[in-house]
Amino acid sequence: MSTKPPGIQPQTNVGSASGSRPKDARAADGGAQGPKIVEGKRIPQELLARIEELHRRYLLRKPNGWRAHLRDCDLSGLDLRNLNFCEAQFVSCNFANADLEDAKFSRADLFSANFDHANLTRTNFDGADLRGAQFEGAELNAATLDGANLGLGVVFKHGADSSIRQSVSSFKSANLRGTNLSGAKLSGASFEGAALDRVNLKGADLRDTKFAGAKLVDVLLAAANLDDADLREAIMDEDTFKRTELSGARRTRRAPAPERLEEILAAHILWIHSDRREGIRADFTDTFLGGCNLAGRILAGAKFERAILTDANLQGAILAAANLRGAVLTGANLSRADLRGADLRDADLSGAKQDRVLTGNLDGTSLATRRA
């Protein structure tokens, strides 16, 4: 009985991804056949079921088993719920929009795989090789990636169309709720725009990771390596912020204490009234000011570049000529605020209240309100 999936001729002369790859196991019945690889194919649902059946036999060490080994195959949109592909190989395969709820991929080789917009609820990726894998817009609620390798991936393809492709793992705009990434290798990965709620990143390697626009709520970062991680535009709840050691990260500064904030604002008003000869210009660059009450305050010319102002009360505030470039103002109240001459380029104003906001040219200057 043949151990290869029906209808597909395995190929052995294929390119390899960089780094060590697990050796292909031979058939569990002791056959001396060479490794069987399914490459460059669209996998229909019926064939997927057959592949999983043979792989289960391999895992159970039953006769005629076959370790699933696919490369550059298209599994997009397929139903993989509850399937067991532990220790399987799906190098550079496409799982976009697929349903992998409760599937098992522990210790699997998923090098450079694509899971964009896939349902990965409770999917088990523990110890998997996911270097260069893509998870943009994916649902990873209660997924587990304990000890998974999600670092830089480099794929070499040989033959007439030889090429070299490298990519970092990306979770852009993904939803991670109750996700376990403890001990995962995530150096250089992107979490831009992602929602992280009760995510476990304890002991994870987060060097050079990017969190611009990401929302972190009740995230565990104990013993994580955050050297050069970019958290400057991340939206982080107070509990996460307080309990995390951020000394090595490029991070948002803590909000000044109330008394210190009053001193900063008083010095800023003096700076304005003295025509910049006295006092100090208020500088909230990279500062966390989420929920802060600045209603009616005089903040003309103040620096808020990349500041986090989510749900802040800026109603009636004077922000003329203020630098708000790259600031996060989601849910902020800007009603009746004066934004003439302000720089709002790259600012996130989604959900902000902007009724009766004053914008346009600032009298006596060449400044006008600038947006994206």
3-class DSSP string for 298-347 = ECCCCECCCCECCCCECCCCECCCCECCCCECCCCECCCCECCCCECCCC
* Lowest mean per-residue pLDDT among 4-18, 85-99, 193-207: 4-18
Give the whole-angstrom CA distance, residue 15 versus residue 50: 25
Using alpha carbons, list the distances in angstroms from residue 183 to 16, 43, 138, 204.
Answer: 26, 33, 21, 4
Rama region for 152: left / alpha / beta (φ>0; ψ in -120 to 50; rest): beta
pTM of the model: 0.70
pLDDT at position 163: 56
Two structure tokens written together for 94: 């496409």
* Average pLDDT of the residues of the chain: 88
Place of tokens 């995530």: 186
Domain contains 141: no
Q: Which residues contact 91 (CB under 8 A, 6 or more apart)?
A: 17, 21, 70, 71, 72, 109, 110, 111, 112, 113, 155
Q: Render pLDDT for 264-278 as a digit per residue (tens, 0 to 9).
A: 999 999 999 999 999
3-state secondary structure of 28: coil
13 with 104, same domain? yes
Two structure tokens written together for 178: 């109750």
17 with 157, same domain? yes
Q: What is the number of other CB atoms lying within 10 angstroms of the CB of residue 40? A: 13
25 with 120, same domain? yes
1 with 123, same domain? yes
Give the whole-angstrom CA distance, residue 175 versus residue 310: 19
3-state secondary structure of 53: helix
Two structure tokens written together for 146: 């304990």
Contact 343, 363 (CB under 8 A): no
Query: Which band of pLDDT confidence, cut at 50, 70 and 90, is reported for residue 156?
Result: low
**Residue 13 above 60 pLDDT?**
no
231 with 323, same domain? no
pLDDT at position 55: 97
Residue 280's CATH number: 2.160.20.80
Domain count, the chain: 3
120 with 216, same domain? no
Dihedral, CA of residue 176, residue 178, residue 184 and residue 190, to nearest 10 = 20
Domain contains 143: no
Give the whole-angstrom CA distance, residue 106 versus residue 149: 12
Q: Render pLDDT for 160-190 as a digit per residue (tens, 0 to 9).
A: 565 556 689 999 999 999 999 999 999 999 9
Domain boundary among 191, 216, 251: 251
pLDDT at position 251: 73
User: Structural domain of residue 82, as residue ranges?
Assistant: 1-136+148-162
Domain boundary among 224, 251, 278: 251
247 with 257, same domain? no
Domain contains 118: yes
Using alpha carbons, list the distances in angstroms from residue 194 to 37, 138, 203, 238, 273.
Answer: 35, 10, 20, 18, 42
Give the whole-angstrom CA distance, residue 313 versus residue 309: 9
Q: Render pLDDT for 31-58 as a digit per residue (tens, 0 to 9).
A: 334 348 999 999 999 999 999 999 999 9
Contact 41, 74 (CB under 8 A): yes
pLDDT at position 165: 62
156 with 260, same domain? no
35 with 178, same domain? no
For the chain, give the number of residues: 372
82 with 204, same domain? no
118 with 1, same domain? yes
Q: Render pLDDT for 298-312 as a digit per residue (tens, 0 to 9).
A: 999 999 998 999 999
Q: Render pLDDT for 314-341 as a digit per residue (tens, 0 to 9).
A: 999 999 999 999 999 999 999 999 999 9
183 with 239, same domain? yes
Domain boundary among 203, 232, 251: 251
Closest CA to 256 of 281, 226, 283, 277: 283
Give 368's strand partners.
361
